[in-house]
Amino acid sequence: MRHSDSTGSRSGRQGLSPASPLPRRAFLTALGAAATAAASAAAIGPSPAAAATAAPYTLLSRRDWGADETLRFAADGRELWPPEYHPVQTLTVHHTDDGSTDPDPAARVRAIYREDAVGADDYGDIGYNYLIDENGRVYEGRWSGTDGTPAHDAAGRLVTGAHVKGYNSGNVGIALLGTLTDRPASAAARATLVRLLAELAERHAIDPLGKVAYRNPVSGAGRVAPAIGGHRHWANTDCPGSLYTAMPSLREEVASLMTG
């Protein structure tokens, strides 16, 4: 069987697809917290556990951004890359560095998806678990089934993506659209990145300021890495551009959001 951790290298590029049945909605958190619950919590003041869920953002499902789900299948109906699920161990940030000048971010996500699924990368699907555009909107990445929240199955395990060669299983891949080599992320994208990282860290009991002794459950490969890091922490690459040097402050912002 082909595993993403034997083929999943990338410096940060991606693309299009009939999608999952998740409707478009404003997400308070990746855990699906309801807006009414957040409003009630705000009335009595946020607790540390609720802090990471305080600010809403918009999450677009694969259907919303136009994912053509047929791209995930061969002509004989075989799924090109059957999903695998593992507990989350770490969170990794990327920039897509896709070179696109298309003003429509959904079109850019579709292009990345197409290249990843059936292009030269041959990942069977989009490599990232989440993507964030310049306006701070989140896009559901790799297909994870219909019985859990985006990127997860019903048991809360992460669907394995293809974003860090050799270290994909249990490693959440979050990519900001665009090339950030010589410029910072937009304020909106950065704010959403912090919220998403805080939600995922809270959900999976990850210390945003700590390190993890990552162990690949497929290959057994191990590595000590930041609990929240950039692609460059795992490979010889300039990805995620300026976000690499911003990582210490990002971690501090995530920790602050989690503790209120």
Mean of the pLDDT values across residues 159-167?
Answer: 97
Nearest partner of 69 among 148, 142, 154, 153, judged by Cα: 142
DSSP string covering 112-175, please?
HHHHHHHSTT--SS-S-SEEE-TTS-EEE-S---SSSSTTB-TTSPEEP-SSSTT--TTEEEEE
One-letter amino acid for residue 154 of the chain:
A
Give the residue extent of every domain in the chain: 4-259
Q: What is the CATH number of domain 4-259?
A: 3.40.80.10
Report pLDDT for 5: 59
Q: What percent of the chain lies above the pLDDT cut of 70?
A: 78
What mean pLDDT is reported for the chain? 83
Tens of pLDDT, residues 129-150: 999 999 999 999 999 999 889 9
Tens of pLDDT, residues 19-37: 232 332 333 333 333 332 3
Report pLDDT for 49: 37
